[in-house]
Amino acid sequence: METISENKCFGGMQGVYKHPSKATGCDMTFGLFLPQEAEDHPVPVLWYLSGLTCTHENAMVKAGAQAWAAEQGIALVFPDTSPRGEGVADDDAYDLGQGAGFYVNATQDPWAPHFRMWDYVADELPRLITANFDIDEDRQSITGHSMGGHGALTLAMSLPGRFRSVSAFSPICHPTASDWGKKQLGAYLGADESKWATHDATLLMRDKGLDIPLLIDQGTSDQFIDLLMPEALAEAVAARRVPADLRLQKGYDHSYFFVSTFMEDHVTFHAEALYE
């Protein structure tokens, strides 16, 4: 593992690291914020999964999460959103290929050799981080924005016992029924739509439910709200009678101005579960 940078930040350290990944078959870069408490003992961790077109850097720089994480003594992990580099398949569209991994294991060419972001985020990167940093692997929570919100929800529902809480900012809630999902799931997983269901938060909620705390914020002026389909997930939550805090925030859009506005709420929400 190579250290790209380390900067003192709110009493802790914001690092950026690169490593060869067996899951994706290429070098991967991630950000990791460690609060000051990590100098003395293992700390709980909050995973932040980013959205379309993002790298590890977007949330690390724009979300304002480090101040609140430092206050709560929580580490933050900012993975990249896809494999990258020479020889990694890409597409001219912003919503497919590099920057748009959708947190799935691709089975279709030309994506299958590298686009294994589920394995990377669910298995390889957690093992790497807990082996090299003072992270308490028994205290983990997860959040994300847009495509990353989709990833956070599907990981939380598919890996019971892994996370203590889950939240999302304007997540893609029902990708099997949305143009933000049909295109990508079809490209990565093939035409058999039965194989898409495990990557749809609404379908997972209908099928499995959720037994950990859930918080979702959605802006009412989000320019992509029709693609995100928050009402579908809300209906599934109600049908399963899952305790959840689903909030519509008047006038907010899809940007990091929205994410940063409510980041304190989300970090505090996760801290309550991580320190329970």
* Active-site residue set: 146, 222, 254
Residue pair 18/27 in contact (Cβ under 8 Å)? The answer is: yes
CA gap 61, 219 in Å, rounded: 21
Residue pair 45/275 in contact (Cβ under 8 Å)? The answer is: no
Q: Between helices 65-72 and 256-274, what is the axis angle to 10°?
A: 10
Q: Which residues pair with 143 in a beta bridge?
A: 48
**Residue 145: exposure state from Cβ atoms within 10 A (0-12, 13-18, ≥19):** buried
Helix (H) or strand (E) holding 182: helix 179-189
CA gap 162, 55 in Å, rounded: 24
| Pairing status of strand 12-21 against strand 26-34 | antiparallel
CA gap 127, 235 in Å, rounded: 35
CA distances from 145 to 47, 77, 142, 194, 275 (A): 11, 14, 11, 25, 23
Q: Which DSSP symbol is given to 253?
A: -
- 220: which 2 tokens? 């009412």
Q: Which of 65, 49, 210, 46 is nearest to 136 (CA)?
A: 46
CA gap 144, 95 in Å, rounded: 17
- 48: which 2 tokens? 């932040």
